[in-house]
Amino acid sequence: MTRHFALLSVSACATLLTACGGSSGTTQAPQGDSAAQPRARYGAVDGQRILTQDGSDWLSTGRTYDEQRFSPLKSIDTTNVGQLGLAWFADFDTRRGQESTPIEVDGVVYVTTAWSKVYAYSAKTGRQLWGYDPKVPGEWAVNACCDVVNRGVAVWDGKVYVGTIDARLIALDAGTGKVAWTVNVGEDSKPFSITGAPRVVKGKVLIGIAGNEYEQRGYLSAYDAATGKLDWRAYFVPGDPSKGFENHAMEAAARTWGGTWWKNGGGGAPWDAITYDPQTDLVLVGTGNGAPWALRDPDPSHDNLYTASIVALRLSDGQYAWHYQTTPHEDFDYDSTQQIILADLAIDGVKRHVAMQANKNGLFYVLDASTGQLISAKAFVPGVNWTRGVDMKTGRPVINPASRYDETHKGFIASPGPFGAHNWHPMSFDPDTGLVYIPASVTDFGFVAIKGDDNPMGQKWNVSMTGGGALYAREHRQPLNKGVLVAWDPAHGKQAWAIPMGDSRTGGTLTTAGGLLFTGDNEHKDFAAYSATDGKQLWRSPAQTAVVAGPISYRVDGQQYVAVVAGGNATPDGNPNYYAPNYSRLLVYKLGGTATLPPPVPAPVQVLNPPPAFGTRTQLTHGAQLYDRFCGTCHGAEGQSHGMFPDLRYSGALQNADAFQTIVLKGALSQNGMVSFKSALSPADAEDIRAYITARAIWSKSHKDTATAVVH
């Protein structure tokens, strides 16, 4: 959940312009020996090849249609993984969040970066073959809730497909990077975006849309892979009843909504999880949270279908087949967009074809993949408190009554929090161990509902971050935010083992037939390998940065490689710092690899130097409310950033009202995503925000730390 509100000193602005701009040349031609290969070798992927591959390539986001992220390669195993070394690396030209899963086909690695850029490299040597920049307008970043990230491409029949942060779907020639076709996936000039990777099945490019924090009605689209023509579109919440419904599923869903939900779109955007099941010819889609988070429907008995659900659609025409709603009347930002894995499991002595998801809400679901019937739902992290469990007769969660926060109640500290017990970070299933490896988190969040308004620049939360901070202050505690790597036994619904990962996110996981589990150890900024059997760490390599994306493995000329995208902002002591180098790179390893990373660059020291306090109590209160709405989702609750965006307490622009307003109201940093807020804020509003951030900086400096506090 983020917005882009960057207040920088002149020197910091120059740094950001260099690091985050990213609009240099559109396409680079192939270079070197790889370019001399026959063009026909590039991107030769079809359904039969995905179904029958031997593991030499990584042909789709999850490697196979079942999204298991398991590699059958075993040249690297538990006995020799200690000999793993860096084979090559490629630096990216943007320092924003890096979440891409690479695709490798016939010796070429295709990977995306932030700002929806695409690169092709020789999988053996790292030589760049081509690069493509879709030139997303910097100001569009304000329409993306959670940074300008991208999670990867799809490759099919000589083309590479990428969704962009400004909601375009682009087909590139796999050999040259030249544009074959492009379409706009968004509708009605609304703030749509795309962050997830496309999938291609039977010549249809499947792509979801993001933006639940805005006025959006979520949908999944299918385009012809050859031409870009729209084949079908499936919506996940009903539209305006006065205009009729697209199908019976939408008509039925409308009966589960109250109020005027269509004015805010309803949410339900399928921004990540898309899984095709060849056995049933169904597409399983994870849908997003309801919009806004709170107060969107006056009746809590309404389920608000099909938000926070796993929905099965017919591949042929996109029509509804079945659904399972993980969180009815969802109020906690518990998207169901986490990866959906297909597998055949022996459960109670019976072989079942199942779909599995470790949900944001803290429960691990096992469903019958053909019907959506619930088989099990168990908490995979401790402390889940919004529910008292799932009634297996009805398949519905038993809601904790105290969790029903609204504007007349004192609020509720929910666990998990909005980041979730498991978010987009890929998990993997190892058929040899029967375990699912989940990059999990133990978190909570203080929910206090407030009435929203029609201000054009605000995300539709109806939740107060400053009010949530007051909940923690009253209980004399800090928000909970711990990483944990969980090995889960889905057949028996229990944890096999777990590894605490400190105050950091666990990276996406990969398992291999060599008995290995690969993931980012972000507490130490390493990429690491563990025993898939018992979780013993067997190898680690310095990444110099966070590794949160999903690793892959492939084979070229008989040599097995492991590749992962890295990039995150933190100082050597682990404290968030936007201006610290984040070392955005593609890292590729092999046995005996001897490449080395350049030495790390010291992070600039952040010094709190706020101007003298100013503003009345009324101004400070108003500034806190405005910051809460317009700034906090990027820059952190109560003026405390966590590294992906500048910490405004340190901003040089606090010193001068004109400098502050040049950025906030005149859009001086629009090309970096910090657009003008003049349609939503007045000069007096901007000055109240500056007063509030200044008060926060003064408090932090006097306490000699960066702990959160509420300005009263």
Q: pLDDT tens-digit profile of 168-223? A: 999 999 999 999 999 999 987 678 899 999 999 999 999 999 987 777 899 999 99
Number of domains in the chain: 1
For residue 201, CA distances in Å to 65, 207, 278, 328 come to: 9, 11, 9, 30
SS3 280: coil
Most distant pair of Cα atoms in the chain: their distance: 71
**Cα dihedral 646, 651, 654, 659 sign:** negative
Cα R_g (the chain), whole angstroms: 24
CB environment 1-28: b (16+ within 10 A), e (fewer): bbbbbbbbbeebbeebeebbebeeeeeb
- For the chain, the first-to-last Cα distance in angstroms comes to 25
- How far apart are the C-alpha atoms of 393 and 391, rounded to whole Å? 5
DSSP annotation of 144 reads -
Please give the pLDDT value at position 1: 40
DSSP codes of every residue in 282-334:
EEEEE---EESSSSSSS-TT---TTTTEEEEEETTT--EEEEEESSTT--S--
Please give the pLDDT value at position 274: 98
Which domain covers residue 682, as residue numbers? 10-18+606-702
β-strand pairing of 510-512 with 70-71: parallel
- 365 domain-assigned: no
SS3 114: helix
What amino acid occupies position 653?
A
- 274 domain-assigned: no
For residue 100, CA distances in Å to 22, 107, 272, 530, 613 come to: 17, 18, 12, 22, 43
Please give the pLDDT value at position 333: 95
Token pair 């695709």 is found at: 103
Please give the pLDDT value at position 372: 98
- How far apart are the C-alpha atoms of 437 and 63, rounded to whole Å? 16
Please give the pLDDT value at position 229: 98
Residue 350's Cβ-count burial label (10 Å; 0-12, 13-18, 19+) is exposed
Quote the tokens at residue 189: 């000039």
Angle ∠(293,294,300) on CA atoms, nearest 5? 115
- How far apart are the C-alpha atoms of 479 and 468, rounded to whole Å? 10
- How far apart are the C-alpha atoms of 122 and 128, rounded to whole Å? 6
Please give the pLDDT value at position 377: 98
Please give the pLDDT value at position 408: 65
Quote the tokens at residue 436: 């699912």
Does residue 266 contact residue 237 with C-beta atoms inside 8 Å?
yes
- How far apart are the C-alpha atoms of 659 and 644, rounded to whole Å? 22
**Run of H or E including 266:** strand 266-267
Sheet (strand 274-277) strand order = 274-277, 282-286, 309-314, 320-325
Spacing of C-alpha 487 from chain mean position: 21
Spacing of C-alpha 453 from chain mean position: 27
CB environment 194-204: b (16+ within 10 A), e (fewer): bbbbbbbbebb
Spacing of C-alpha 90 from chain mean position: 22
Compute, in degrees rounded to 10, the torsion defined by CA atoms 7, 586, 181, 158: 180
- How far apart are the C-alpha atoms of 682 and 660, rounded to whole Å? 12
- How far apart are the C-alpha atoms of 258 and 238, rounded to whole Å? 11
**Cα dihedral 387, 388, 391, 392 sign:** positive
Q: Could you count the other beta carbons within 10 Å of the beta carbon of residue 222?
A: 25
Whose CA is closest to 519, among 508, 534, 504?
508
Sheet (strand 84-91) strand order = 84-91, 585-591, 559-566, 552-556
- 621 domain-assigned: yes
- 626 domain-assigned: yes
- How far apart are the C-alpha atoms of 87 and 589, rounded to whole Å? 5
- 493 domain-assigned: no
Whose CA is closest to 588, among 558, 557, 560?
560
Residue numbers in the chain where pLDDT is lower than 50: 1-39, 706-712
- Residues counted in the chain: 712
Whose CA is closest to 215, among 263, 258, 166?
263
Angle ∠(152,12,608) on CA atoms, nearest 5? 115
- 310 domain-assigned: no
Whose CA is closest to 100, among 197, 2, 219?
197
Catalytic residue among 57, 333, 526, 647: 333
Locate all alpha helices (DSSP H) within 22-175, ordered by sequence: 32-35, 47-52
- How far apart are the C-alpha atoms of 400 and 417, rounded to whole Å? 15
Does residue 642 contact residue 577 with C-beta atoms inside 8 Å?
no
Per-residue model confidence as pLDDT tens digits over 255-305:
999 989 998 789 999 999 999 999 999 999 999 999 888 888 889 899 999
DSSP annotation of 708 reads -
What's the whole-model pTM score? Answer: 0.91
Mark whether 333 is an active-site residue.
yes
Whose CA is closest to 304, among 346, 332, 272, 276?
332
- 645 domain-assigned: yes
Q: Could you count the other beta carbons within 10 Å of the beta carbon of residue 474?
A: 12
- 658 domain-assigned: yes
For residue 686, give the CATH number of its domain. 1.10.760.10
- How far apart are the C-alpha atoms of 90 and 214, rounded to whole Å? 35
DSSP annotation of 407 reads T
Please give the pLDDT value at position 187: 81
